[in-house]
Every structure is written in C-alpha cells, then in structure tokens.
Amino acid sequence: MPTLFAKIIRGELPSEIVYQDELVTAFRDISPAAPTHILIVPNKVIRTVNDLRDEDEKVAGRMVIVAKKLAEREGIAEDGYRLIINCNRHGGQDVYHLHMHLIGGRQLGPIAQ
C-alpha cells in the first residue's frame, strides 16, 4: 500500500507542492499550525527517523537544505522558524513516511508539550 505522502509525491492526491527534485518533495500541510507550514518528504518511503540508514545521508541532508531554502523563499528566515521531525508514538508521528515540518511566520511557543 503506498503511503499517503507517496500518493501526494506521485500527484495521485491533490496538494500544493512547493518544491520537488530527484530526492525530496515539499508541500503545504493540510492543517497548518502557523502561517508557513510545509512538509519536506523523501521521495522514497522511509518510515521513521529510526529507519534511516547510512546510505540515506544524502536524502537526509537534502531535507534540511531544502527546508532552509524554502524558509528564505517564504520570507521567514530572518525572524526564524522551527524544523521538526516526529518519531513514533511518543514523538506524535501520525504519518509513517518520514517528513520534516517547516513551521514559521509567527512567534512559536515552547518546544515540547
């Protein structure tokens, strides 16, 4: 079964894709927590951070670099923003296709609740 995000990456589910290359895709979160809320996702299915392997270094690094560029493009780089990867149950992960949240555009609260 393809993951929800795999379907978005392949264009089988509607979303606002803001960036795509051979390794990652970024699209706006359907339920934004802040004025900017973008998900940066590896094109290949990696379920969680726990499933990253040494050979995934390039895709993991690309996720951060793309987040940084999108923050600039969104105009939130200078004020600041937060990058979050939730992992498994205690981390509050809902979708089991690795993704990084880029959240900003307002003052954010405490890092963990």
Catalytic residues, by residue number, are: 99
Q: How far is the CB of 101 from ligand 5GP (least distance, A)?
A: 6
Q: Which one among 20, 29, 47, 56 touches ligand 5GP, defined by CB under 6 A?
A: 29
Beta bridge partners of 3: none
* Separation of alpha carbons 8 and 109, rounded Å: 30
95 binds ligand 5GP (CB under 6 A): yes
* Nearer to ligand 5GP among residue 38 and residue 76 (C-beta): 38
Q: What is the dihedral of CA 52, 84, 89, 10, to 10 degrees?
A: -60
Instruction: Determine, following the binding rule CB under 6 A, whether residue 92 of this chain makes contact with ligand 5GP.
Output: yes
